Amino acid sequence: MQAQSINELFWQGNAAQAAGDDAIAEAIFRHGLRRDPDNADADNKLGKPLADQEQYEEAEAAYREALQLAPDHAAAYSNLRQALWKQGRYATAKVVDRVPLEPFAHL
């Protein structure tokens, strides 16, 4: 995994995911986060292969981290809602888009 930039890592991770290689995509996005830990897009991208592997709690954590870094990250809100829904946390999922993330810290 010798990428020149975070964008190249994103491309590689997206390609792995499109090929159905969620474990490889997860590893690539984790590598990207090690290189750039404050990258909200990397956290958001990491959540998708985790969710696809039914690791919904870990996906939720990745989306929450993305939102901590970029509170207006619309895709992360949408993905968080889906992860919560998959965990059966329907009431929380329904309100995620209507309020900031801080009220959900205790949930």
pLDDT in tens, 73-88: 989 999 999 999 999 9
pLDDT in tens, 21-79: 999 999 999 999 999 999 999 999 999 999 999 999 999 999 999 999 998 898 999 99
pTM recorded for the entire structure: 0.85
Q: Could you give the percent of the chain with pLDDT greater than 70? A: 87
The DSSP result for 29-85, as a single string, is HHHHHHH-TT-HHHHHHHHHHHHHTT-HHHHHHHHHHHHHH-TT-HHHHHHHHHHHH
